[in-house]
Chains A and B, each alone.
Chain A
Amino acid sequence: MPNPSPARMHDFEVVTNEKIADGIFSLVILAPRLASALKPGQFVNVRVPGDASELLRIPLSYVAADPQAGTVEIWYAVVGNGTQRMSEWKPGFKSDLLGPGGHGWCVPEDASRVLVVGGGIGVPPVLCLARDLAAAGVAVDACVGAATADKLVGVEDFEALGCGTVRVATDDGSAGSCGFCTDPAAELLAAGGYDYVATCGPGVMMSKVAQAAADAGVYCEASLERMMSCGFGACSTCNVETTSGMQGACMCGPVFDASKVVVW
Chain B
Amino acid sequence: MSQVNMAVDFGGVKMKNPINTASGTFGQGWQFSELMDVSQLGAITTKGCAAEPWPGNPAPRMTEVRGGMMNSVGLQNPGVEAFARDYGPWLDELTGKGTQVICQVAGHSTEEYVRALEMFDELCPWAAGFEINVSCPNIAAGGAACGSTPDGAAEVMRACRKVTDRPLFVKMAPVRIPEISRALEAEGADGLTVINSIPGMAIDVHTRRSKLSKPTGGLSGPLCHPIAVRMVWEAANAVDIPVCGVGGVMTGEDAAEFILAGACCVSVGMASFVEPDASVRILRELEEWAESQGVRDINELIGAFEC
Contact = CB atoms under 8 A, between A and B. Distances in A.
B161 interface: no
Interface in B29-55: 30-35, 47, 55
A233 interface: yes
Interface in A167-214: none
Interface in A233-256: 233-241, 245-246
A121 to B, nearest CB: 18
Size class of the B contact interface (CB-based, 8 Å): 35 or more
Nearest to B21: A234
A64 to B, nearest CB: 26
Contact of B61 (A53, A234, A237): A237
B56 A239 contact: yes
Contacts of A4: 30-35
Given A1-B86, A237-B62, A239-B61, A55 B31 contact: no
Interface stretch (B190-198, B235-243, B268-276, B299-307): B268-276
Contact of B56 (A7, A98, A236): A236
A238 B227 CA distance: 28
Contacts of A238: 59, 61-62
B27 A227 contact: no
Contacts, number: 109
A233 B31 contact: yes
A241 B69 contact: no
A9 B35 contact: yes
A229 B60 contact: no
A239 B76 contact: yes
B151 interface: no
B274 A56 contact: yes
A7 B221 CA distance: 23
A218 interface: no
Contacts of B73: 235-237, 239
Contacts of A103: none
B31 A234 contact: yes
Contacts of A236: 24, 47, 56, 61, 73, 76
Contacts of A7: 35
Interface string A43-55: 0000100001111
Closest 6 CB pairs of A and B: A237-B62, A234-B27, A234-B31, A230-B273, A53-B66, A1-B90
Interface of A: 1-2, 4-5, 7-9, 47, 52-57, 98, 226-230, 232-241, 245-246, 263
19 contacts: A1-B30, A2-B86, A4-B35, A7-B35, A53-B67, A55-B68, A226-B60, A227-B61, A230-B273, A232-B31, A232-B32, A234-B25, A235-B71, A236-B24, A237-B62, A238-B62, A239-B56, A245-B55, A246-B55
